[in-house]
Structure 1
Amino acid sequence: MIRTLVLKELRESLPIVAAAAFAIASGFCLNFLLSAVVSTSPVVEIPFLNGFWAWVLLIGYSVAVGVGLKQTAWEDSKGTYRYLLFRPIDRRTTFQLKIAVGMLLVVGFVAAYIIFYALWSAWPGRFAAPFYWSMTIGAWQVWFVLPLIYSAAFLSGIRRARWFGSRLGPLIGAMFVSLILVYQPWPWIAAAVSLALTALYASTAIDVAQRRDY
């Protein structure tokens, strides 16, 4: 039963990740074509210090919010909870599995994106600038707050409230806090605060899911 639920969550969330991967691949292809047409020399910019963290933020936030709402609000609109919660498995376990799969999918995908870009940047002749792994800290700092965004999106999706009222309150609050964490100069603080708030949001989401009348 657990394996079936995990496969279900992966199958339904992978299209969002696939769309993000397609957008990333399209950006790389466009950059390659423009570089080939404009100049044959290496790109004159500094990798990871050229605003790459903003792309990580855009892609990461989009995937985190998309997966979080897909697992909750989308299923609610399709009426699948009536069938999902009728299975011989504890309701808390069901939602813990949903959160675990969704969060691992989000952080795993964005981590792969950062690592791929790092390896691509480190390739000799790719950039007319030195590459150091310490340059990736800004991107990882954005990565640290993605679990917070995902858990807030999950909580907003599972709550019973008006979309134009207080339902998006957890997600809006998490985005505001996350932007503060992204811009502050101590990555370990971003990681610690994000981890604490993620635990709070996730536990609240599971509590709300257990008490809800479906």
Structure 2
Amino acid sequence: MRVVIAEDNALLREGLVLLLTSAGHEVVAVAGSGPEVLPALLGHRPDIAVLDVRMPPTYRDEGLRAALAARESIPALPVLVLSQYVEESYAAELLGVGASGVGYLLKDRVGRVDEFLDALERVAEGGTALDPEVVTQLLTRRRNSPLDSLTPREREVLELMAEGRDNATIAETLFVTERSVSKHIGNLFLKLELPATDSGHRRVLAVLTYLNNVD
């Protein structure tokens, strides 16, 4: 796939380029500062953008702002955001505009090559990839929401859905059968009063409900 990388740390940026090209992907552009990001995305229209949250010149949220602006101009653009720390407000803002083709990972996840490449591919295909640490912190901040009606197991399933896991992976992680996972997902769809449409769309709606009920 064609990738644009936006990362101001030269060592990490070059490492990402090497990692992705070694995995058979094409890095069509790199950006080292906030103002470079949006022109690169609009000019190349990649299959996915891998963006740092904080970039020069202010080291605040240039990467995130570029990601949001790019998704306004290219609504289907998959975006995988990398962050040094868990910043719940940034994750919620990014994912709140639509959970299709978005991801938010901590940078140390890049070192786990198989996990990172798996997340990259899921996001590029329109799925989600939330770092488990991000999911945990989002969940602990939630109060008085429709999610309160879920059982602990249903919440575990929803957390893993938010990370972008499929039913087989959820079943393996929780040491249950795929049939049990399907049952839990069906129950949480009912409790969250999601419309009866295709299951993929309902999964996205479930993740959005999860994210939109963070204080």
* Fold match by TM threshold 0.5: no
Please give the TM-score of this superposition, normalised by the length of structure 2. Answer: 0.28
More relative contact order in 1 or in 2 (CA 8 Å, sep 6+)? 1
